[in-house]
A = this chain, B = another copy of it.
Amino acid sequence: MSAAAWGEALAAVGGTAGSSTTVVSICVFTAVLCLCLVAGHLLEENKWVNESITALIIGCLIGAIIFLLTKGKQSHILRFDEQLFFIYVLPPIIFNAGFQVKKKQFFHNFMTIMSFGVFGVFISVAIVSAGCYWLFPKVGFGELDASDYLALGAIFSSTDTVCTLQVINQDETPRLYSLVFGEGVVNDATAVVLFNAIKNLNISQLKGGVVLKVISDFLYLFATSTILGISIGLSTAYILKALYLGRHSTDREVALMALMAYLSYMLAELLDLSGILTVFFCGIVMSHYAWHNVTANSRITTKHIFATLSFIAETFIFLYVGMDALDIDKWKTSKASFKTSISIFGIIILFVLLGRAAFVFPISILSNNMSGSSERTPITFKHQVVIWWAGLMRGAVSIALAYNQFTFSGVTSDPVHATIITSTIIVVFFTTLVFGFLTRPLITAMLPRHSRALSRGHSTGSNSPKDDFTMPFFSTDEDASGSGIVLEQAKRSISMLLERPVHTVHIYWRKFDDKFMRPIFGGPQSH
């Protein structure tokens, strides 16, 4: 096919979604995804660049090539489609996050993660919204209403931690990793749920009670979504254990796990719950129970199948965002001058930085004081900086939410709305490229141990998992034979229960899990 013919074929893409159109775009996307994979592999050991940056830049380049081939008529293969994003691309990423999460660390830091992921987002939304409401009119860009400002807050409070997680070493700083990772997942869910709550808000009847309503709605959604995800995960585990599908076919096991996971997400969406939370908890339950009920081959397959899907989906998103960036129509529709655009961008970045600082440092200090026990590694100031930095990147969720609020099926004719869309794209680009670029050097500076190539297998004593298994009431230590010692230990246990409620709850959960859950739903019988 000649370049001209390609150009023609590509020019047809923007129009109707005909058969040949779809084929061309799928071809280009698949080929470019392969390119990204290979590029990502070759750049793996590079100190500055990561996979997201590669995909974003390649996407941009492809967009530019298409733009030149079609002589300026066209610059993107597909319009950014939030439905595609929320229905097909996001679920595998979140499910895999739940499936691969180190559950022990996650639940140990549950309260801190929730504080970051829930309260943090509320604080950030408030600050970004207020900041934009205050400063946007001052740069001559004031035609938004109150709900738009709130939506802006939610859009720019959803973080993208993929980039940072590639750098932090899970073995060396397990707590930090768990906090950044956990916050990333909860943050996604909170931002989306809050965004929807704001969309449904009747802004004209804004009263004091409304904040309470949003919070209670949020808690209701959180609880029901979690319960749905856990139920579906447990059902899958039970079916796999009771019927032992692997007896006849390994493929049925793998298919059932994948389909049930997807069903949990779609069912949550159908019932107007948060699919992200549901599929995340479904992933946790499946890896804890269902995964142990399948054949060895299915275990290897599911582990890699979900990771691969998630990996492709992530690369796809950055590629998509990169290709979408050069969409000329949007830039033409936005009538904002260069100066206004730069001001808007500056305001958003400023309040993103402030909004995040406003909750990371206070919550970290609070968490350090609350845990009150010397056994737990405190969140040092350097770790706080890393957590703050890790959440500065904005990604696909921001873009998807912006499209949802400010366009109709990906198109807008309102110059103000087009400006918001282009600003969102610039913010996503800037944070992913510039902040992403600086992440590795910053983390090397903050966590110097990361720069030294520590030999693997050298585990840091203070975080060895053994610590977590000391049962307060049911100790079987040999030196606990005397009754005085028993009494002493009981006293210590009670004080531990008061001091570290989460930790103690966790211990009782393990007993309950071993005694009642695992015999029914499967899993290794002993630790």
A200 to chain B, nearest CB (A): 15
A499 to chain B, nearest CB (A): 41
- Please tell me if the beta carbons of A308 and B270 are within 8 angstroms of each other in the complex: no
- Please tell me if the beta carbons of B252 and A41 are within 8 angstroms of each other in the complex: yes
A189 to chain B, nearest CB (A): 18
Q: Which of A242-250, A433-441, A459-467 contacts B (4 or more CB under 8 A)?
A: A242-250
Chain B residue nearest to A275 (CB atoms) is: B23
- Please tell me if the beta carbons of A304 and B297 are within 8 angstroms of each other in the complex: yes
By a CB distance below 8 angstroms, the chain B residues around A87 are 22-23, 26
Contact A256/B298 with A27-B266, A30-B262, A30-B263 known, Cβ cut-off 8 Å: no
Expressed in whole angstroms, the Cα–Cα distance for A250 and B263 within the complex equals 27
- Please tell me if the beta carbons of B311 and A255 are within 8 angstroms of each other in the complex: yes
Expressed in whole angstroms, the Cα–Cα distance for A19 and B270 within the complex equals 10
Residue-wise, chain A 2-43 has the 8 Å CB interface mask toward B (1 for contact) of 000000000000000001101110110011011001101110
- Please tell me if the beta carbons of A1 and B37 are within 8 angstroms of each other in the complex: no
Expressed in whole angstroms, the Cα–Cα distance for A30 and B275 within the complex equals 15
Expressed in whole angstroms, the Cα–Cα distance for A304 and B22 within the complex equals 28
Q: Which of B24, B27, B270, B297 contacts A23 (CB 8 A)?
A: B270
Q: Does A453 contact B (CB under 8 A)?
A: no
Q: Which of B20, B37, B258, B263 contacts A252 (CB 8 A)?
A: B37
Chain B residue nearest to A236 (CB atoms) is: B34
Cβ < 8 Å to B, chain A residues 258-293: 258-260, 262-263, 266-267, 269-271
Expressed in whole angstroms, the Cα–Cα distance for A258 and B1 within the complex equals 25
Chain B residue nearest to A45 (CB atoms) is: B248
Q: Does A307 contact B (CB under 8 A)?
A: yes
Expressed in whole angstroms, the Cα–Cα distance for A249 and B266 within the complex equals 30
Q: Does A237 contact B (CB under 8 A)?
A: no
Q: Does A212 contact B (CB under 8 A)?
A: no
- Please tell me if the beta carbons of B27 and A304 are within 8 angstroms of each other in the complex: no
Cβ < 8 Å to B, chain A residues 494-525: none
Chain B residue nearest to A41 (CB atoms) is: B245
- Please tell me if the beta carbons of B251 and A304 are within 8 angstroms of each other in the complex: yes
A339 to chain B, nearest CB (A): 38
A215 to chain B, nearest CB (A): 26
A41 to chain B, nearest CB (A): 5
Q: Does A167 contact B (CB under 8 A)?
A: no
- Please tell me if the beta carbons of B31 and A263 are within 8 angstroms of each other in the complex: yes
- Please tell me if the beta carbons of B312 and A305 are within 8 angstroms of each other in the complex: no
Contact A308/B258 with A26-B266, A38-B243 known, Cβ cut-off 8 Å: yes
By a CB distance below 8 angstroms, the chain B residues around A308 are 251, 254-255, 258, 301, 305
By a CB distance below 8 angstroms, the chain B residues around A413 are none
Q: Does A65 contact B (CB under 8 A)?
A: no
A349 to chain B, nearest CB (A): 32
Expressed in whole angstroms, the Cα–Cα distance for A30 and B270 within the complex equals 13
By a CB distance below 8 angstroms, the chain B residues around A34 are 256, 259-260, 263
A257 to chain B, nearest CB (A): 10
Q: Does A83 contact B (CB under 8 A)?
A: yes
Contact A256/B300 with A24-B270, A266-B26 known, Cβ cut-off 8 Å: no
6 closest Cβ pairs, A-B complex: A301-B304, A30-B263, A251-B308, A254-B308, A27-B266, A44-B248
